[in-house]
């Protein structure tokens, strides 16, 4: 069964409070040298054949990502 | 290539996209006249955003002057024009409160739009030197069962709760109203209250040449660029938000740290002037600070800490990144200021210096990109006397008297109507919304929703406290804007007095359609005139406010919705009057004021018949004043065990709410038409409960103030039934099921 991977990230111009919190925590834990952290969401969907990628994009845009503040990438794995 | 002042001089004919930035041709030419050359792109960005409707009040200014012309109030310590007005509540305490709108951002992205609305108003209050102590949110949505309301409402409520709860601020009231006119343009207004000692008041001005300008808080990113002009001053096309502008994401934890950091800086007396960065960001802060102070400022824009290094100078000037403040500090205090910021892990950077040049100059990479007289940007915007025209459909609307609508004729009909009204979206229990807000955090909340007003304790020793209520009725205002604004004022005023607090001051958030539509502008002018006249009669100052225009979808404006906030003071919160029946033995029920056959714009006409017409209830502000005097005196003398104002849904709704709140029954006897008695929305009325033995003293007090008082019935703790003698009796269980079932059925379990 094909697997579809959707990665959702906040748009680059949007503030990422969670990413900032992680960045702030790293030096406190002794991890130096990290200059920026952006975090996001990773989805794995198992779908039936045939794979309709256009339809899946609509799905991701409708439910998985909030297109006002987020963007996503979609990959179909065999 | 950087557009420098020098380049602007050399290339006078260089075409500039002023109309894309929302400027009219004559406005653009005015900027050229002021500068004696074409503006640089950075200057153009600053002027365009500061001269937008949202920032410059260019259409409303000529009308709002009436608030400034009200008689000087002794309690007003800081008036209109600062970030928020400040009121003296006695014992050396001062309170500041203000409402702002975040309507369009909340439609585009409900959660973040509503959240950053809370964040913005909290910073306005903080800027005055006050500790924010509570928030409230008056909300308006499309029909409760509309698909878009299902999208917008849960997000807005979660956003308000998410941000306010993280800040540790109780949300003590507000309103939730559904109406077709808000579909496609919900209203999300946010109010914040703050408290300080008199000596701690801070103002937004940059005085003292040589003083340092410090930007502190979050880094500047590319969010909400042009948000002010694009989001707030342009109407959504009828086909929805096709071009979605960049919205801001807030971080309440950064804001919480910023609040504590600022309060420590204030306590150490380290700022000469301070301003928050809201709409129009640095453009607004630098021009407003310098025009209110010594008149000049020089800023090195390269020093602004950025989240995104690729930002252009125009973008940095327009960015609306949240959780930022700008302070003016004497050179000798800069080190201590920086130490406090470091302790709170707040990024702080000296970005400039105050001078007496009379110019705001900004450099970028060593080149001059801005050189303007700051007053012309902050306060020299155009002022319009927009044409006014009474809406063409108004005669038809007022002629559509609700007297012709079919009314219930039997007692069974009345009983069914009472239950259906109690379950209607506008009258039903709002716990689904308010339980997502933290109402009691910090331990000073004395009363919160669903009580008439939110009441907060200010001083633990003396019990000194404040009460705040907001109200607004778009249907009344649509039918008669002058009266509608006064009815909103009267209701908020009455709500505050009902809890036992003495009303002191007024704020407002005026939500209207496009000012370019003469009919909308007429509604606005009438509402402002009504509000100003009303405040004069009630003897209350207007401490400030906010105007939100362009609330419309296509050509259809929302019902004009002035939201009025009233703040009152209570000498001892232990003497408050709650709304629940059943807290004292042997309670009798009385109704103060007169009930007339008034159904124009009523909840009954709307929810039962989808009818909007006729005239709103008559306003008698002299009566409201007398009523408030009675309620405050009675509370101070401990005469009342409960009180609840009669408004939306009339007496029937007040009885339902008071019985359910106390979980006790009541029996009432009506004289005259039972339908009119139960559902009329005549203004100037309050339902009170008090032990029978205090009745004589209380009625004497009412007579002394010439307010009619009528016997209504008794509280019946032993009978779990609301009984209207000779008509019907409804078991409380049945009432509660109707009252509480609506929102959960529509919106499911709370959560994002």
**Does residue B175 register a pLDDT over 80?**
yes
Q: What is the mean pLDDT of residues B433-452?
A: 94
- Find the helix or strand (DSSP H, E) in which A44 lies: strand A40-46
Q: Answer whether residue B85 shows pLDDT above 90.
A: no
Contact B129, B266 (CB under 8 A): yes
Lowest mean pLDDT among B64-78, B459-473, B679-693: B64-78
Q: Do the beta carbons of residue B150 and residue B212 sit within 8 Å?
A: no
Region B376-395 average pLDDT: 94
The CATH class given to the B53-378 domain equals alpha beta
With a cut of 90, say whether residue B310 has pLDDT above it: no
* Of B91-95, B220-224, B263-267, minimum mean pLDDT range: B220-224
Spatial contact of B704 and B655, defined as CB atoms under 8 Å apart: no
Q: State whether B251 and A24 contact (CB < 8 Å).
A: no
- CA atoms of A16 and B437, how far apart (whole Å): 24
CA dihedral for B516, B519, B525, B527, sign (positive or negative): negative
pLDDT for B750 equals 58
CB contact under 8 A, B307 and A14: no
Looking at the partner chain, which of B218, B221, B254 has a beta carbon nearest the beta carbon of A13? B221
Say what the ipTM of the complex is: 0.75
Question: How far is the CA of B516 from the CAs of B100, B102, B181, in angstroms?
Answer: 21, 21, 19
Count of CB contacts below 8 A, A vs B? 44
Question: Confidence band (pLDDT; 50, 70, 90) for B98?
Answer: very high
CA atoms within 13 A on the CB side of B512: 30
CA–CA min distance A44, chain B (Å): 21
- Give B209 to chain A, closest Cα distance, Å: 35
Contact in structure between B34 and B64 (CB atoms under 8 Å): no
| % of chain B at pLDDT higher than 70 | 97
Looking at the complex, report in whole angstroms how far the Cα of residue A47 sits from the nearest Cα belonging to chain B: 26
pLDDT given for residue A15 in this prediction:
87
Query: How many residues in total does chain A contain?
Result: 78
Task: Tell me if A15 and B244 make a contact (CB, 8 A cut-off).
Answer: no
Q: How confident is the model at residue B238 (pLDDT cuts 50, 70, 90)?
A: very low
Convert the pLDDT of each residue in A33-71 to its tens digit: 999 999 999 999 999 989 899 999 999 999 999 988 899
Q: Residue B228: which pLDDT band, with cuts at 50, 70 and 90?
A: very low
Give dist(CA B90, CA A44) in Å, integer. Answer: 62
**Chain B residues with beta carbon closer than 8 angstroms to that of A17:** 249, 251, 253-254
Interface contact B221-A14, CB threshold 8 A: yes
- Please give the average per-residue pLDDT across B297-316, as a whole number: 90
Q: How far apart are CA B562 and CA B108, in angstroms?
A: 22
Q: What is the mean pLDDT of residues B79-100?
A: 89
Mutate to test the interface with A, among B107, B151, B159, B221 (most CBs of A within 10 A): B221
Which strands, in side-by-side order, build the sheet including B76-78?
B76-78, B86-90, B93-101, B187-197, B131-141, B171-178
Q: Identify whether the C-beta of residue B222 lies closer than 8 Å to the C-beta of residue B313.
A: no
Average pLDDT of the residues of chain B: 93
Question: In the predicted model, what is the mean pLDDT of residues B393-412?
Answer: 94
Stretch B625-636: mean pLDDT? 98
Tokens of B234: 């342009």
pLDDT exceeds cutoff 70 at B231 = no
pLDDT digit string (tens) for B585-598?
A: 999 999 999 999 99
Closest CA to B568 of B490, B499, B631, B496: B496
Q: Kindly report the backbone phi and psi dihedral angles of residue A49, in degrees, each rounded to the nearest multiple of 5, phi listed first.
A: -80, 155
Name the pLDDT band for B17 (thresholds 50, 70, 90).
confident
Flag whether pLDDT at B72 surpasses 90: no
Active-site residue set of B: 54, 102
Chain A contact set for B307 (CB, 8 A): 15
- B414 exposure class (CB count in 10 Å sphere: 0-12, 13-18, 19+): buried
B721 pLDDT exceeds 90?
yes
Beta-carbon separation of B308 and A13 below 8 A: yes
In this predicted structure, what is the pLDDT of residue B279?
A: 79
d(CA B479, CA B411) in angstroms, rounded, equals: 31
Burial (CB < 10 A; 0-12, 13-18, 19+), residue B37, is middle
Note the pLDDT of residue B278. 82
- Per residue in B241-283, pLDDT tens? 333 356 788 999 999 999 999 999 999 999 999 999 987 889 9
Q: Which residues on B lie below 8 Å from A21 (Cβ)?
A: 253
For residue A70, the chain B residues in CB contact (below 8 A) are none
B553-584 per-position pLDDT tens digit: 888 999 999 999 999 999 999 999 999 999 99
Two tokens at B204? 């937004």
CB contact under 8 A, A14 and B223: yes
A68 closest CB neighbour out of B244, B307, B345: B244
Q: Which residues of chain B neighbour A66 with C-beta distances below 8 Å?
A: 109
Residue B617 CB partners (closer than 8 Å, separation 6+): B476, B487, B596, B598, B600, B601, B680, B681, B682, B683
C-alpha distances in Å from residue B239, one per residue of B113, B224, B242, B553: 20, 22, 7, 9
Element spanning B231, H or E: helix B227-232
Q: Examine the pLDDT at B617 and tell me if it is beyond 90.
A: yes
Q: Which residue in A10, A15, A16 has the most chain B C-beta atoms within 10 A of its own C-beta, making it the best mutation to test that interface?
A: A15
**Across residues B501-507, what is the average pLDDT?**
97
Residue B484 preceded by cis peptide, ω within 30: no
Rounded average pLDDT over B227-249: 46
B704: number of Cβ within 10 Å:
12
Do B409 and B428 touch, CB atoms closer than 8 A?
no
Cβ of B251 within 8 Å of Cβ of A67? The answer is no
Would the pLDDT of B229 be above 80? no
Residue B236 in this model has a pLDDT that exceeds 70: no
Element of type H or E holding B324 = strand B324-329
Segment B461-473, tens digit of pLDDT: 999 999 999 999 9
Nearest chain B residue (CA) to A24: B345
| Domains annotated on chain A, with CATH | 3-77 (3.30.1280.10)
Does pLDDT of B206 surpass 90?
Answer: no
Beta-carbon separation of B112 and A69 below 8 A: yes
pLDDT confidence of residue A78: 79
Instruction: Using a pLDDT cut of 90, give the percent of chain B over it.
Output: 83
pLDDT tier at B233, thresholds 50, 70, 90: very low
Residue B12, burial from CB neighbour count under 10 angstroms (0-12, 13-18, 19+)? exposed
How many angstroms separate the first and last alpha carbons of chain A? 8
pLDDT at residue B405 above 90? yes
Name every residue in B having a CB less than 8 A away from some CB of A. 108-109, 112, 218, 221-223, 225, 244, 246-251, 253-254, 307-308, 321-322, 345
User: DSSP string covering B52-64, please?
Assistant: SHHHH-TTTHHHH
CA B15-B16-B19 angle, to 5 degrees, is: 125
Rounded to the nearest angstrom, the minimum Cα separation between B227 and chain A is 13
Mean pLDDT, to the nearest integer, of B395-406?
A: 93
- Is 70 exceeded by the pLDDT of residue B53? yes
Residue of A nearest to B112 (CA): A69
Per the model's pLDDT, the better-predicted residue between B56 and B479 turns out to be B479
Residue B179: pLDDT over 80? yes
In the DSSP assignment, the letter for residue B597 is -
Could you tell me where the DSSP H helices lie in B518-596?
A: 518-538
Question: Could you tell me if B106 and B153 are in contact, meaning their C-beta atoms sit under 8 angstroms apart?
Answer: no
The DSSP string of B454-513 is: EEEES-TTT--EEEEEEE--HHHHHH-HHHHHHHHHHHHHHHHHHTTPEEEEEEEEEE-S
How many CB atoms neighbour CB B409 within 10 A? 9
Q: Which of B177, B658, B173, B661 is nearest to B434 (CA)?
A: B173
In Å, how far are B580, B591, B653 from B715, measured between CA atoms?
11, 14, 16
């Amino acid at each position: 069964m094909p697997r579809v991977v959707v990665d959702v990230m906040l748009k680059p111009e949007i503030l990422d409070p969670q990413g900032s919190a992680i960045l702030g925590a790293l030096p406190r834990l002794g991890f130096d040298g990290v200059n920026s952290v952006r975090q996001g969401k990773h989805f794995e969907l198992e779908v039936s054949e045939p794979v309709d990628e256009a339809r899946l994009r609509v799905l991701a845009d409708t439910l998985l990502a909030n297109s006002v503040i987020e963007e996503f990438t979609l990959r179909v794995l065999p | 290539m950087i557009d420098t002042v020098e380049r602007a001089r050399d290339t006078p004919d260089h075409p500039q996209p002023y109309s894309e930035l929302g400027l009219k041709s004559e406005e653009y030419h005015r900027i050229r006249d002021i500068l004696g050359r074409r503006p640089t792109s950075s200057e153009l960005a600053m002027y365009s955003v500061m001269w937008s409707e949202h920032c410059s009040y260019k259409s409303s200014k000529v009308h709002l002057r009436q608030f400034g012309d009200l008689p000087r109030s002794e309690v007003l310590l800081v008036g209109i024009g600062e970030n928020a007005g400040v009121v003296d509540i006695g014992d050396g305490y001062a309170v500041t409160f203000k409402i702002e709108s975040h309507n369009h951002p909340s439609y585009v992205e409900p959660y973040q739009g509503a959240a950053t609305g809370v964040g913005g108003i909290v910073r306005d209050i903080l800027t005055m030197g006050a500790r924010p102590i509570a928030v409230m949110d008056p909300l308006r949505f499309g029909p409760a069962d509309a698909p878009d309301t299902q999208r917008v409402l849960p997000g807005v409520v979660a956003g308000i709760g998410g941000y306010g709860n993280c800040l540790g601020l109780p949300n003590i009231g507000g309103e939730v109203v559904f109406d077709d006119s808000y579909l496609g343009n919900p209203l999300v207004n946010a109010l914040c209250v703050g408290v300080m000692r008199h000596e701690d008041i801070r103002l937004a001005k940059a005085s003292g040449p040589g003083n340092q300008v410090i930007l502190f808080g979050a880094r500047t990113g590319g969010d909400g660029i042009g948000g002010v002009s694009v989001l707030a001053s342009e109407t959504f096309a009828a086909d929805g938000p096709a071009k979605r502008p960049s919205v801001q994401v807030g971080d309440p934890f950064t804001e919480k740290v910023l609040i504590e950091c600022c309060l420590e800086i204030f306590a150490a007396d380290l700022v000469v002037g301070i301003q928050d960065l809201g709409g129009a960001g640095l453009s607004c802060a630098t021009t407003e600070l310098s025009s209110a102070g010594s008149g000049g400022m020089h800023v090195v824009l390269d020093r602004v800490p950025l989240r995104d290094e690729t930002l252009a100078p125009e973008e940095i000037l327009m960015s609306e990144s949240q959780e930022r403040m700008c302070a003016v500090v004497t050179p000798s205090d800069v080190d201590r200021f920086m130490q406090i910021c470091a302790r709170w892990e707040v990024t702080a950077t000296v970005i400039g210096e105050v001078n007496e040049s009379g110019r705001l100059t900004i450099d970028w990479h060593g080149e001059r990109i801005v050189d303007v007289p700051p007053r012309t940007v902050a306060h020299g915007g155009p002022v319009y006397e927009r044409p006014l025209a009474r809406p063409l459909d108004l005669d038809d609307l007022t002629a559509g008297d609700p007297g012709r609508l079919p009314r219930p004729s039997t007692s069974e009909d009345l009983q069914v109507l009472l239950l259906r009204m109690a379950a209607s979206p506008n009258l039903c229990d709002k716990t689904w919304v308010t339980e997502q807000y933290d109402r009691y955090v910090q331990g000073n909340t004395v009363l919160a929703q669903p009580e008439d007003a939110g009441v907060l304790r200010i001083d633990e020793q003396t019990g000194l406290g404040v009460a705040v209520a907001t109200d607004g009725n778009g249907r009344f205002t649509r039918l008669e804007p002058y009266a509608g604004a006064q009815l909103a004022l009267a209701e908020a005023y009455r709500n505050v007095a009902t809890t036992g607090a003495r009303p002191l001051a007024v704020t407002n958030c005026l939500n209207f359609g496009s000012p370019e539509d003469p009919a909308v502008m007429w509604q606005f002018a009438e509402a402002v005139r009504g509000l100003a006249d009303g405040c004069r009669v009630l003897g209350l100052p207007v401490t400030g406010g906010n105007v939100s225009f362009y609330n419309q979808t296509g050509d259809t404006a929302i019902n004009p919705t002035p939201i009025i906030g009233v703040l009152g003071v209570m000498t001892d919160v232990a003497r408050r009057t709650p709304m629940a029946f059943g807290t004292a033995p042997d309670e009798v029920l009385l109704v103060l004021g007169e009930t007339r056959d008034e159904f124009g714009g009523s909840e009954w006409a709307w929810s039962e018949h989808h009818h909007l017409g006729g005239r709103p209830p008559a306003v008698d502000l002299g009566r409201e004043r007398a009523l408030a005097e009675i309620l405050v005196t009675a509370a101070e003398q401990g005469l009342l065990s409960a009180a609840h104002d009669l408004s939306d849904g009339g007496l029937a709704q007040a009885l339902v709410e008071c019985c359910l709140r106390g979980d006790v029954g009541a029996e009432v006897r009506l004289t005259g038409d039972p339908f009119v008695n139960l559902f009329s929305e005549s203004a100037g009325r309050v339902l009170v409960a008090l032990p029978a033995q205090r009745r004589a003293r209380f009625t004497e007090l009412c007579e002394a103030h010439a307010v009619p008082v009528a016997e209504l019935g008794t509280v019946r703790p032993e009978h779990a039934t609301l009984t209207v003698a000779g008509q019907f009796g409804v078991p409380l269980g049945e009432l509660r099921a109707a009252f509480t079932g609506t929102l959960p059925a529509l919106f499911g379990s709370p959560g994002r």
